[in-house]
Structure formats: C-alpha cells, structure tokens
Structure 1
Amino acid sequence: MREIEIIAPNFKRRLSGVTSTIVQLIPKQIELGCRIVTLGPGLPAHLPKLDLSRLPGLWLRPRRHAVRVWHARRNNEMLAGLVLKSLLRMPLKLVFTSAAQRRHSRYTRWLIRRMDAVIATSDRSGSFLKVPHTVIQHGVDLKLFHPPETADDRMAATDLPGKYLIGCFGRVRHQKGTDLFVKAMIELLPRHPDWTAVVCGRVTAEHKGFGEELTKSVADAGLSDRIRFLGEVPDIRPWYRRATLYVAPSRNEGFGLTPLEAMASCTAVVASDAGAYSEMIVPGETGAVVPAGDGEALTRAIAAYLSDPEETLRQGDNAVRHVRLNFALEKEATAISAIYDQLLGGR
C-alpha cells in the first residue's frame, strides 16, 4: 500500500468512453513512473488494481509523499473521494477530469468546487467550468493506431466491392448520428461506384428499432451490397486502416476519440462539431468539420472527398503527422503526471 501514490477509480461496470480512457492511459502513466492503481469493476486484468478490502490502508501515508492522489472522472467518484478525504480524514488530494460539453448541475458544481485540481479535456469543456482548470486533451496510442503495414490493412483484404472504403464506427443510435451517415451514403454512393461504406458498432436492445430502420432504408435503396452493417467487430483497428475516409457524425459527444484513432491510421475525417472534434481536425488539411445534426452539410462535405480520392489520401497522410505531433497518448500522460506531481509536492 505504501508504494501506491495515485488511485484511478472506475465506478461503472459497462464499457464507456471514460473507461476506455482509463484502460489506454494507465499503462502509459506507469511507463512514466506513476505508481498508480485502479479501483472498481469493468477493467481488464492487466491493469493494477486496489481491492476494496484494502481501502483502510489509505490511512497510511505513501512512502515518498505526505498524500495520495484520487483521480475521479465521474460524479460518484468525486463523491467517494470527498468522503474518504473529508469525513474519513484519509491523506488524499482530489483531481477531477471533466469532458462535459454542457452546463453542470448544481450538485456537480458543488463537487467540483471541492476538488484540489480540475482538468478539462478540451477548450470547449473548460468553458463550462467555473473554477481554475488545466486543459489536457486526450491522446491516442500510436502503437495501436497506425498507418497500414500489411496486406490485411488494405481494402482488398475485405470481401467488399469497390476500391475505396468509407466508415462510421461506434454504437448505432440517434445520438451518434448513424442515420445521418446512412442517409448521406444512400444519396452519394450511386454517383461514386468506387466507394463502399461500412457501419461498425453494437446495436443495443433499446436502439434495435433504430437499427432496423436503417437496414431497411438501405435495402429499399438497393444498396445492401455497398452499405454494410458489420455489427461489433472483434478488432476495430484494421478497419480504420482499410478506410480512406472516416465519418464521425455525432449529434452530441463528450470528447470523442474515434477521429483521432482514424487520423492516426492515415485516414481523413469528416466530423460534426460535437464534443472536441473541431479541436482535433485541421479543415482542408486533415478533414472537414460541419455543424452537429446538419445532414445536408455532412453530405456536402463527404461528397467532396468521394469526388477526389487522391486529395482524400493526401489529407490522410497529413492526419498522421498532425496526430503524432499534437495528440500522442504520451503527451496526455505526461501532462497529467505534472498535475499529480504538483499535488504530491514534487518527487
């Protein structure tokens, strides 16, 4: 226990964007020397974990510092940290990372004011905070998401028709704008026979009707062979590399990592301005940004890329360089570690 200096709770069993961030970030933080553990369900076995039965050990100070850091990313995690620190008098400093793109509730604002440090994942999310904060944008693991390297990374490795692939990945639901993508494909693909579209992502029970309507609209248009619904694939990474263009049409989003994952894979991106998408993309150089929920603007932006595959490929090349320079996961991990060091009082 005395070697543990950072605790990253994850109080949600189901996979979410926050959980994905923790899973990717913690190994990088460990590489940088952070003595960090997770706490809670729904995390893979390879991450170091603190069992609930060992929580009383937090009354013991860590070997190198007078306090530990509790890094919360949800309201219930902030509350738990506050109870441990203020009621149980455990030597903790509290950090909260906010990705919300909306005005916080009174309760959330009350919790945030009691944090020792606050991180915003984008300038936009930071604009909704009423306390001092540091903007640290999410990064992407460049070892996992990279340009095509083998034959399996190419469009030709699939059984799909056409020469170029356009993809939309993530849960199939209204919030994610999957319908806007499908509608754009129904309109555009008949004019661009070299392109095929894929939708990868899970359809949960509550959105089953939504998914069935999309499938029916594609069938009615006679495009079932060129607009494929692949469901939840075992590994999404090769599909990023096979795509020439990626579309992120979300109506609303917290941060949203998929455009970064696509660009790191040498794929140009058309995205809405939901979440932090507009802060990731350089319009005309790595992709395009359109107003969230504007299907016509989305269709127009996609059409320009389908009409000029060479330009699309050029912007994909630019995207790799852009992500490596600005959105490497190591950069995020280093910036967060600096916050930890400040709270721990240096090392």
Structure 2
Amino acid sequence: MPLPKVLVTNFNKNFTGVSATAAAVIAVQKNLLDIHLVGEPLPNCPVPISRKKATLISSEVDKYTGFTIWHVRRNEEMRTAIWVRDVLKKPIKIVFTSAAQRRHSAYPRWLISKMDLLIATSKEAANFIDNVHSVVPHGVSTDNFFPVLDRTQAWKNLKYGGSFGVACVGRIRPEKGTDLFVQSMLNILPKNPNMVALIIGKVENKHKRFKEKLVNKISNANLSDRIIFTGEIKADFMPKVMSAISLLITLPRYEGYGMTPLESLASGTPFVATKTGYFEEFSSYGKYGSVVALGDVDGASDAIISWLSKNNKLGDFSKSARQYILNNYSIEKEVNGIIEAYKSLLNNKE
C-alpha cells in the first residue's frame, strides 16, 4: 500500500538546528514521497505552502489510507496540527520528532501526549517521553558534506586569513557556550600565530550584550583580527567551511542532539565538544573527537591542542571519519527509519 501525502511543518523563520535536520530529511524524502513543506522555506526543499493550503490538502481523503501525515518538530507546529485534527476534524495523523535530552515542561508534555506517533533521535531522548515508537538518529547528507583534497587551499579560499582555522557554529548565547569557545581561543591563539578562529552564527537581541562582552574581551587581548564573528552563514556554504577548518569546537552547556559534529566528520574534520547532546557517541568514544566535562575550558584547550598537533595527519583521518559517517549516520539511514515509522501508521488507522 502506498504511503499517504506527508506535510512537514517549519514555522520558524530562523534557520535553526531543527530547521537544518528537517531540511536534510525533506531533500531526500521529496524524491520518495508525495511531500509538502508547510510554513517557511528550507534549502533544497519544495516551495512551501501556507497553513491554509495544508489544511485544504488535509481535507482530501486519501483513497488508499484515509489520512494525511503531518510531521511536526516544534510546539507551535504540534498545536496547529492538533487543531486541524481535533477541532477542524481533518483526517490526519501527527508524527512528532523529539531530540531533547531533558524532561519537557507541562505544556509540551501535554502536546506530545496528543501525537499519533513519536520518534526520538536517541535512546536518551526516548527516556524523556512516553510511548516512543522509533529511535531514529539524525543523519547528515554525505553528498553535501565531504572532505577536500587540499585543506590548506580550501582554508585560503575562505579568505579569513592565517594558514589554518577552527570554528564553532551556533547561536551566540550562553547555552551554546560561545564564551567558553572564546576563552579557549584566548588560551591557545597567542601560541599559534598562524591560526584563526571563527564564530559562526547569529545573535538575537536579548543576547547582544553577551556578544558585546565577548567582543570587548577579544579586543583587550588584541585578537580581534583572529577571532572573527562571521554572522550566520548560508546553509549551502557550510560544507565549504566544514571541510576547510582543521577542527570543529562545540562547547554548549546543553544540547539536545547536535548535528555539527556529524557534518564535520562527514567533511573529514575532527571535533572537540562538551559532554552533552549525543557528542560522546558521535566521537566513537574518542576515536573521531574529544569530549570534555561541561564548562571545562582547560580540558577543552588541552584537547584542542592535542588535535591540532595531528593537523598534518588529517588525510588519513578524513577517510576513516567519512566511512564511519556513511556506515552509521547517513541521511539515507535517517530517512529510511522515518519512512518505516510512517508505514506503521497504516496498521493503525483508527
């Protein structure tokens, strides 16, 4: 029996980690399913339709299955889907993906309890919600993220200066540990005159003062030309960055899952991270990256120095890391897991 239409919601205008994971999945699903994106546009995805149009599509009873699937990932999206199903009485089934590795507050728990099918991105995330149907880890597009033959030239092409670089990627805010990254760079850069550090991500108004303090701290250390705030980088340019840097550094105080290490490994680049999200598993317990305790700047600095000392051996590392991703965290594996979860709805139409 064929699968019904699938409507995937994206109501956040900002391109977040959730947006990135949804975009990667939809880019593959569009060739396999009758799928529509609802809300805000995402790269390499179908042109989005409005919520009104999605509701009209949901009014059409699928002749094979009798329902349409709504795949949601955020509170607002759950709320809208519940309204369409329970108030407007449209024949839909709601699928929710959860990555959070902490207990949801009361309102999200209520929303989650109304879902028809729950997917968790890790066993840890599954521990925080009831009635999980499937555990499907996020995957990375190995067509978009891949190693380059000449990392030195790739870095030069980015035109940030220096002979090699490292980066942290994510919103500039305390939860993402931007200040921990800056402090580690203040420890390391003076002893590495050819190294440049990138801080990639946008800052919201409520965190502008946080960023200003970091800018001042960097300026006082005379490193403003070597610790560079790039702003948000377009999704289609990120693969070039990931394959050009020598090390990804991600030191959040909390992370539900964390995609950037997978993108770096697919690009042949190791990472240093804090013990949150799924980072320890991604590292294969130290083989492809280092994981340090939350807030441990000294430990992070030591790990960064250790990986940078192996900079001339990244060619061999790249081959091994990419194969590891292909075997364990490809986007195709994620898409197949999600489709299998969709199929289970066919056995429970009531």
1:229 — aligned with what? Answer: 229
| 1:301 alignment partner in structure 2 | 303
Q: CA deviation at 1:337?
A: 0.6
Counterpart for residue 33 of structure 2: 34
Name the Cα RMSD after superposition.
2.6
Contact 2:155 2:165 in 1 (8 A): yes
Amino acid at match of 1:144: N
Deviation at 1:159, TM superposition (A): 4.2
Distance 1:62 1:150 in 2: 51
Q: Which amino acid aligns with 1:38?
A: L
How many residues align? The count is 344
CA deviations 1:187-235 (Å, max 9, x no partner) are 1222234433222222333222222222222222233333333333452
Task: Give the partner amino acid of 1:40.
Answer: G
- Where 2:156 maps in the other structure, the secondary structure is helix
Q: For residue 60 of structure 2, what is the aligned residue in structure 1?
A: 60
Cα distance in 1 for partners of 2:310, 2:271 equals 14
Equivalence for 1:280 = 282
Q: Which of 251, 254, 261 is equivalent to 2:253?
A: 251
Deviation at 1:303, TM superposition (A): 2.1
Choose which of 229, 240, 243 in structure 1 pairs with 2:242.
Answer: 240
Deviations 1:18-44 (A, max 9, x none): 22222221120122x211112223546
1:54-74: CA deviation from partner (whole Å, max 9, x where unpaired): 324423311332222121212
* Aligned-pair CA distance for 1:182: 1.3
Distance (whole Å) between structure 2 residues aligned to residue 232 and residue 74 of structure 1: 22
SS at match of 1:261: helix
- Secondary structure at 2:176 match in 1: coil
Q: How does 1:14-29 map to 2 (within 5 A)?
A: 14-29=14-29
Q: Which amino acid aligns with 2:228?
A: R
Query: How far has the Cα of 1:45 moved from its partner?
Result: 8.7
Residue in 1 that maps onto 2:323:
321
Task: Write the distance in 2 (CA, Å) between the matches of 1:269 and 1:252.
Answer: 17
Question: 8 Å contact 1:121–1:255 — kept in the other structure?
Answer: yes
> How big is each residue's C-alpha offset from its partner over 1:230-285, in whole Å with a ceiling of 9 and x where there is no partner?
33345232111111111011111232211111111110111112222223222332
* DSSP 3-state at the match of 1:175: helix
The alignment-based identity, stated in percent, is 35
Checking the alignment, whether the CA contact within 8 Å between 1:69 and 1:343 is kept in structure 2 is no
Q: CA offset at residue 131 of structure 1? A: 2.1
What are the within-5 Å matches in structure 2 for residues 64-79 of structure 1?
64-79=64-79
- Offset at residue 311 of structure 1 (A): 5.1
Deviation at 1:53, TM superposition (A): 3.7
C-alpha separation in 1, matches of 2:159 and 2:27: 36
Which residue of the partner structure matches residue 212 of structure 1?
Answer: 212
Are residue 98 (structure 1) and residue 98 (structure 2) matched?
Answer: yes
Query: Quick check: 2:152–2:164 contact (8 Å CA) kept in 1?
Result: no
Q: Which residue in the other structure is 1:339 paired with?
A: 341
Tell me the TM-score normalized by structure 2.
0.88
Aligned amino acid, residue 148 of structure 1: V
Identify if the C-alpha distance between structure 1 residues 312 and 284 changes in structure 2 by more than 3 Å, giving closer, same or farther: farther
**Contact 1:170–1:202 (Cα < 8 Å) also in 2:** yes
Decide which moves more: 18-27 or 154-163: 154-163
Read off the aligned partner of 1:282 and give its amino acid letter: S
Any idea what SS the aligned residue of 2:280 has?
Answer: helix
What letter is aligned with 2:284?
V
CA contact (8 A) 2:250 2:272 kept: yes
- Rate the CA distance shift 1:46–1:119 in 2: closer, same or farther, 3 A: closer
Summarize the Cα distance change of 1:281–1:341 in structure 2 as closer, same or farther, 3 Å threshold. same
**Residue 318 of structure 1: SS of its match in structure 2?**
helix
SS in 2 for 1:154: helix
Following the alignment from structure 2 to structure 1, what is the Cα–Cα distance between the partners of residues 93 and 16? 25
How far the C-alpha of 1:166 sits from its partner, in A, is: 1.5
Runs of 5+ consecutive residues of structure 2 not aligned to the other structure? none
| Structure 1 unmatched ranges of 5 or more | none
Provide the TM-score with structure 1 as the length reference. 0.89
Give a deviation string over 1:84-126, Cα, whole Å, max 9, x none. Answer: 2233332222211111121112232222223221101122211
